[in-house]
């Protein structure tokens, strides 16, 4: 299904970029935007991406066209949509690490930019961050590197933490890598660890029923399925009185307890810079994969209160944002 994202961004008329003038008459340069979840959950990131394109001279429907496709957390749709975008002869495909394998399978010629990817080298998306080669490049989350810090923060909020459950969408290689790293780190800290694997929406409710009374906290690994159904997961966690740890703040906006990770709108703005460079002639394989330089701690005090948790003033002072 083709869902167009209608985002109004006011601004003056920018000069036509050189690459746009090189296109055949009547045809705008086209970006294939392959989203892992839904427009409603990705709207802040799409807005950041489109706004940055406008700032560097690419105005949607005027100097550039964007073909949006939404996988809605169903990973089997990546192959279908990747093939469709290749048939449309888009000039560049923007997706996430989850969408890259299908996009690479569909084309070895069209440039592919991943706006976010858990561990692009570990997941074999690129051979090297410095020299990605081929037709793929983008921005890394380095999720596995942050496991220790997230567990440290969770322990600050829950000093008596003993039993940790890790939830991951195991159809996503990045989520599996993150789950293994969190599990290993938690065991080193002396925690009792259990894992919950989900593959589709129907697995979510049974997963929570299975862990009732068996965990002190829930670490949720980043995954398109989780993003698409974050409100349901947060509601179920709250009903089970489980504090939740996430990798990015959007989950905390919808009721999660705490997140620590990169700023996603910033990463999507950087993805737009990659698209700009590629449309102006840069080769994706020669553009190094960037790693995040700023990480944000976000706390939801409404959720903390509902769970009967007291968050220390020290931790609140360190937070980049507190939702009250």
Does 267 share its domain with 244?
no
pLDDT at 133 over 80: yes
Q: pLDDT-based confidence at 321, cuts 50/70/90?
A: very high
Average pLDDT over the chain, rounded to an integer:
89
For 11-37, give the secondary structure using H, E and C.
CCCCCCCHHHHCCCCCCCCEEEEEECC
Within this chain, do residues 157 and 60 fall inside the same structural domain, yes or no? Answer: no
Do both 252 and 269 map to the same domain? no
Residue 162 belongs to domain spanning: 144-262+296-323
Q: Tell me how far apart the alpha carbons of residues 111 and 154 are, in angstroms, rounded to a whole number.
A: 39
Coil/strand/helix, residue 295: strand
Q: What per-residue confidence (pLDDT) applies to 145?
A: 78
Chain centre distance of CA 107? 23
Structure confidence by residue, pLDDT tens digits, 242-284 = 999 999 898 999 999 999 999 999 999 999 999 999 999 999 9
Q: What percent of the chain has pLDDT over 90?
A: 75
- The verdict on 248 and 273 lying in the same domain is no
Question: Tell me: the pLDDT tens digits for 75-117?
Answer: 889 999 999 999 999 999 999 998 999 999 999 999 999 999 9
Phi, psi of 208 (to 5 degrees): -70, -35
Residue 76 belongs to a domain: yes
Which of these, 173, 166, 159, lies nearest to 207 by C-alpha position? 166
Does residue 32 belong to any structural domain of this protein?
yes
Does the residue 5 lie in any domain? no
Q: Is the pLDDT of residue 126 over 50?
A: yes
**Is pTM beyond 0.85 here?**
no
pLDDT digits (tens, 9 = 90+) for 137-156: 999 987 777 889 999 999 99
Q: Please indicate, yes or no, whether residues 288 and 319 belong to a single structural domain of this protein.
A: no
What is the pLDDT confidence band of residue 7, given thresholds at 50, 70 and 90? very low
Lowest mean pLDDT among 23-27, 110-114, 134-138: 23-27
70 shares its domain with 91: yes
* pLDDT of residue 4 exceeding 80: no
Residues 27 and 87 in one domain: yes
9, part of any domain:
no
pLDDT in tens, 277-306: 999 999 999 999 999 888 999 999 999 999
Residue 24 confidence (pLDDT) above 60: no
1 within domain boundaries: no
Strand-pairing partners, residue 32, are: 67, 93
Q: What is the domain count for the chain?
A: 2
Do 257 and 275 have their domain in common? Answer: no
Rounded to the nearest 5 percent, the helix, strand and coil shares of the chain are: 40, 20, 40
Higher pLDDT: 186 or 123? It is 186
Q: What is the β-pairing status of strands 321-323 and 136-140? A: unpaired
CB 284 within 8 A of CB 139: no
Residues 308 and 179 occupy one common structural domain: yes
256: domain CATH number is 3.40.50.2300
Strands (E), the chain: 30-35, 65-70, 92-95, 112-117, 136-140, 163-169, 192-198, 217-220, 244-246, 258-262, 295-300, 321-323
Q: Establish if 4 belongs to a structural domain.
A: no
Over residues 217-223, the mean pLDDT reads 93
Given the DSSP bridges, would you call strands 244-246 and 258-262 parallel, antiparallel or unpaired? parallel
Among the listed residues 284, 270, 280, the one whose alpha carbon sits nearest the alpha carbon of residue 64: 280
In a domain, 43, yes or no: yes
Instruction: Give the closest residue to 120 by CA, choosing from 105, 139, 106.
Output: 139
Residues 301 and 213 occupy one common structural domain: yes
Q: Do residues 108 and 236 share a domain?
A: no
Please give the full DSSP string across 149-204, using - where no structure is assigned: HHHHHHHHH-TT--EEEEEEETTSHHHHHHHHHHHHHHHHTT-EEEEEEE-SGGGH
Nearest to 42 by CA among 309, 297, 317, 265: 265
Do both 309 and 166 map to the same domain?
Answer: yes
Q: What mean pLDDT is predicted for residues 40-50?
A: 94
Residue 104: count other Cβ atoms within 10 Å of its Cβ: 18
In a domain? residue 257:
yes
Which region holds residue 150: left if phi is over 0, alpha if psi is between -120 and 50, else beta?
alpha
Q: 136-140 and 112-117: which strand pairing?
A: parallel
pLDDT band at 26 (very low <50, low <70, confident <90, very high): low
The pLDDT value given to residue 270: 97
How much is the pLDDT for 25?
Answer: 46
């Amino acid at each position: 299904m083709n869902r167009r994202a209608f985002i109004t961004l006011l601004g003056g008329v920018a000069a036509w970029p050189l690459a746009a003038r090189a296109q055949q008459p009547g045809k705008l340069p086209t970006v294939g935007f392959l989203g892992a979840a839904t427009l409603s959950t990705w709207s802040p990131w799409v807005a950041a991406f489109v706004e940055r394109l406008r700032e560097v001279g690419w105005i949607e429907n005027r100097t550039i066209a964007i073909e949006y496709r939404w996988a809605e957390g169903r990973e089997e749709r990546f192959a279908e949509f990747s093939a469709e975008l290749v048939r449309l002869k888009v000039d560049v495909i923007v997706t996430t690490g989850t969408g890259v394998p299908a996009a690479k399978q569909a084309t070895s010629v069209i440039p592919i930019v991943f706006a976010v990817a858990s561990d692009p080298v570990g997941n074999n998306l690129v051979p090297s961050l410095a020299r990605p080669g081929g037709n793929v490049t983008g921005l890394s989350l380095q999720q596995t590197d942050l496991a220790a810090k997230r567990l440290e923060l969770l322990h600050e909020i829950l000093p008596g933490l003993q039993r940790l459950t890790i939830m991951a969408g195991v159809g996503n290689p990045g989520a599996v890598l993150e789950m293994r790293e969190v599990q290993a780190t938690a065991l080193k800290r002396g925690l009792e660890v259990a894992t919950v694997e989900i593959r589709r929406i129907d697995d979510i409710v049974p997963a929570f029923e299975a862990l009732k009374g068996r965990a002190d906290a829930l670490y949720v690994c980043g995954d398109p399925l989780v993003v698409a159904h974050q409100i349901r997961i947060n509601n179920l966690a709250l009903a089970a009185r489980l504090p939740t740890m996430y990798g990015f703040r959007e989950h905390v906006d919808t009721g999660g307890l705490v997140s620590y990770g990169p700023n996603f709108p910033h990463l999507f703005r950087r993805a737009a810079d990659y698209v700009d460079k590629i449309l102006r002639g840069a080769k994706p394989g020669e553009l190094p994969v960037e790693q995040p330089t700023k990480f944000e701690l976000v706390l939801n005090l409404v959720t903390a209160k509902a769970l009967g948790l007291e968050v220390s003033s020290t931790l609140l002072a360190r937070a980049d944002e507190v939702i009250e």
